[in-house]
Amino acid sequence: MVEILKAVGIFASGAFGVSCLFFAYQVFTGNKSEYERNRRRLGGFKSVFSGSVPTVADGGRDYQVAAGIAIDRKTNQWVEQGKLSTEALLAALRRPQ
């Protein structure tokens, strides 16, 4: 029984390692201009975790940011929340054409 668990553990570790290598390959060969655009769009590292990515850019709605509304419990007011959309992340991971 122990040998089977060791074999399953080795197989799972190998599969995880291969998937990490595949993801690293996608990140390093991705579209650098889209990455820079997303980085500028975020504003800062803290905005990613707080959900405060600005949803308006240059006077119009930024379609690369998924927008939402939340209630601030301290002030009991609605606050805008934003995060990078799935399309923005996939565009940064795709190879440039």
pLDDT, one tens digit per residue, over 21-34 is 999 999 899 999 98
| Separation CA 25–CA 15 (nearest Å) | 15
Per-residue pLDDT at 38: 87
Asked if residue 68 lies in contact with residue 50, where contact means CB atoms within 8 angstroms, the answer is no
pLDDT digits (tens, 9 = 90+) for 33-55: 988 988 888 878 888 788 888 88
The residue extents of the domains of the chain are: 1-30, 31-97
Q: Is the pTM of this model over 0.75?
A: no
| pLDDT value at 97 more than 80 | no
For residues 64-93, give the mean pLDDT.
Answer: 89
